[in-house]
Each structure stands twice: as C-alpha cells, then as structure tokens.
Amino acid sequence: MTELGVYVHVPFCRHRCDYCAFATYTDRDALMERYAAACRMELERAFGTGDLPAATSVFFGGGTPSRMPAQWLAGILSAVPRASGAEVTVECNPEDASSDRLVTYQEAGVTRMSFGVQSTVPHVLVSLGRRHDPESVGRALEAAASAGFDRVNVDLIYGAVAETDEDWARSVADVLSLPHPPGHLSAYALSVEPGTPLARDASRHPDDDVQATRYELADAMLASAGYGWEEVSNWALPGQSCRHNQLYWSQGSYIGIGSAAHSHRGDALAGKRWWNVRTPERYVEAVEAGRSPVAGEEHVAGERRVLERLMLSLRTPAGVPQWALPDDDCLEGLVEHSGERAVLTVRGRLLANAVSTMLRAGPVAGPPGAAVSGAAAGRYPAVP
C-alpha cells in the first residue's frame, strides 16, 4: 500500500501559551466556519485530480483543533479519502474533552486522540502559561476510553524554570498511573522561540543540563513501564506507534491542508516540499477565490536529500548504516552498533543534533588519505 499522510492545521486557540511560536491565533474565531469550508475545498481539489492515493493517516494539529466545533472538524475529515484502517489523530486540550465531542470524533472516523497535558503540577502549568486544571487530565483520558478510543497520546514538556526534578517525575508518574494510561507519550524539551513571551524573559530560560537530567529520568521511567522509544522525543507501548509520525521520520509523502501547513512528496516527485500562506484570512481568501494557497516550494535532491533522510533516521531506533558515521573517538558512548547499523544511546539522543553534523551521504571509498565519499563520486546509495 502506498503511504500518504494528510495534515490539517487548525490555527485557532483560546489562549496562546508563553512558549508557542506556531502559526496560531486567539482573535480569529470569526473565521472558523469559512476556514473549515476552505479546508474541505482544498482537500477536494487535491484529491480530485486522481493523482493521490487514499490517505493512510490523517492528523489534525494546531493551534487547538478542539477549539473548532466537533461537527465542523468531522466535515473536514469527511473530505479526506481514506484507506481501510487509516489512522486519524486529533489534538485536544484536556479541558475540551467532553463526552459529546469525543463521541462525535469517534463516529466521524477519528481513531486516535492526542492530549496536550504538558504537566500535572499546577505551578509548572502556570509557569508555562497553560490554563487547564491538572484534574482534567484523568477526566479526558477516561472520556476517551468511554468513547471507544484505545489509542491515545499525551504530550508533556520538561525544563520550565519553576519545575524541579521531583515535579517532572510526578508528571510522568501521574500520567502512567491513570486508570487509562496513554499508549503513546511525547516528551519535549522546553525550547525558547524568538518572539515569544518566554524568549523575552531570560530568567525563565531552561538550563540544558537540567533538561538532560529530566530526559534521562523520563526515559528510565517509561522503559520500566514497558514503553520503547520510537524517536528522540516519543515513546510507545507495543502496537501503539504513531503511523503519521513514521511518515515524517521516513521522508514519506504527506499533504498539508490549511494555513501554514507544509507538504512533501516522497514518491515520483521525491524531494518536493511546499507550504501554504501563514495567516488564516489569506488562506481562506485564496481558496474561496479559486487560487492556490501555496506560498512557496523547494526541491531537495542529491546529497542534501540523503543527509536529511539520515538525520531523520538517526533520531529513531532504526539508526543509520554504519558507513554514515565516521569511526571517531568522539562518538564513543553516543552510538552503539547493532549489526550494520549505528544507533544512538540515551546519551547520544541528548546530543542528536551534534551527532547529525557528522553524517556523510555515502560510504567512504579508496585508500586512507584519499577517501572519496559516495556524494563526491556521484553515487548516492539507498538509505534503508
């Protein structure tokens, strides 16, 4: 089966978190109904040519997809041709997880929920600019189970200055000890993005060493609970991996719908990427006028494409072919070898970006001192 993902960006939020730099808006709710209709139109045009296979995964992200009335989101999903067994994920704030909303999602074909929990400790939530009650987390996962969802993700964020190691351990433990714990968990290091309230207050910037300790703590707790890492920031129980994420990490094909959404073709048009206009009003106006909402595109080929694939694979348990990394003492303790693959250790995951700078696009050939990479020789091997 040809894999194709569809990402739908829902840019509306009730409140903008202090760390958020995404294309989201708290003052555009009046556009919401027209925006939903524009997304349906963009989908109908994209799939109407017959060039695309049915989607194997759909992901509603944001912003806050649960800010949109559930029936409007269901209407967008109805415009996506889906393969049998397609995975359909919707991001949802815990406080939005009413039984009626989740039942509407489930009846529309949503198969997986993703809850933005971030922390279960009240003062940490305040420091992140989050406004939900920690008690809503358990209620949300209970409601998801009652609605028939057996695939659920929880997002957590670590590294807030107000957070201690004990606070972080409590958040992870609270989630794992729920009556209906998630099968998938994402834990992201708090990052300082330009233009955000967090960026403007240096006293709130996270400490790298503290974040490393929190990551190691989370990995150990999750491993003890039976979760395996599937990407640097993602862990899953057996059978609970996110199919849509796997497309991103393998340079697969996905179509982005909505304002600021990005697309990629990894098949016959391998290496083509394009993205839509950033603001929802410009997006709606373009689609309603029959114009393309695409703002730009690029083609990535040759050595750059191979290196990007290696960088993505390096962040997963699949690792990279041994030839992709040099035999260098500085990698000791950062990678381990499994057969013909080099895989990051826990410490290596903490330094994944640094390790990725050492990747090379092809096996070294020739005598020592006169080595020629596959790229220089004009050959780019397939990266399994």
Is the CB of residue 57 less than 8 Å from the CB of residue 109? no
- Distance separating alpha carbons of residues 162 and 179, to the nearest angstrom: 28
So what's the pLDDT on residue 335?
98
Across 298-318, average pLDDT: 94
- Does the structure show a pLDDT above 90 at 282? yes
For residue range 82-134, list pLDDT tens digits in order.
999 999 999 999 999 999 999 999 999 999 999 999 999 999 999 998 888 89
pLDDT at residue 367, rounded to an integer:
36
Number of CB atoms found within 10 A of residue 52's CB:
17
Q: What is the pLDDT of residue 383?
A: 52
Q: What pLDDT was estimated at residue 375?
A: 35
Top-confidence range, 216-230, 295-309, 358-372:
216-230
Residue 369, pLDDT score: 35
Q: How confident is the model at residue 373 (pLDDT cuts 50, 70, 90)?
A: very low
Asked whether the predicted pLDDT for residue 376 surpasses 80, the reply is no
d(CA 65, CA 47): 22
Rounded CA gap, 332 and 334, in Å? Answer: 5
Q: What is the pLDDT of residue 131?
A: 80
Q: For position 269, what pLDDT does the model report?
A: 54
pLDDT in tens, 313-329: 999 999 999 999 999 99
Return the beta strands (E) in the chain as ranges.
4-10, 55-62, 82-92, 112-118, 152-158, 184-189, 228-231, 234-236, 253-257, 262-265, 272-276, 294-299, 320-321, 335-338, 341-344
**What radius of gyration do the chain's Cα atoms show?**
22
**Over 80: is that where the pLDDT of 71 sits?**
yes
**What are the sequence ranges of the domains in the chain?**
4-247, 302-384
Is the confidence at residue 364, as pLDDT, over 80?
Answer: no
Cβ atoms of residues 355 and 334 within 8 Å: yes
Q: Is the pLDDT of residue 380 over 70?
A: no
CATH of domain 4-247: 3.20.20.70
The Cα 328–Cα 325 span in angstroms is 8
Q: Is the pLDDT of residue 137 over 50?
A: yes
**How many other C-beta atoms can be found within 10 angstroms of the C-beta atom of residue 296?**
9
Close Cβ partners of 67 (under 8 Å, ≥ 6 residues apart): 10, 12, 13, 14, 29, 32, 93, 96
Q: Is the pLDDT of residue 381 over 50?
A: no
In tens, the pLDDT along 146-201 reads 999 999 999 999 999 999 999 999 999 999 999 999 999 999 999 999 999 999 99
- Residue 384: predicted pLDDT: 54
Q: What is the pLDDT of residue 11?
A: 97
User: pLDDT > 70: what percent of the chain?
Assistant: 93
The pLDDT mean for the chain works out to 92
- pTM value is 0.93
Residues 93 and 313: their CA atoms lie apart, in Å, by 30
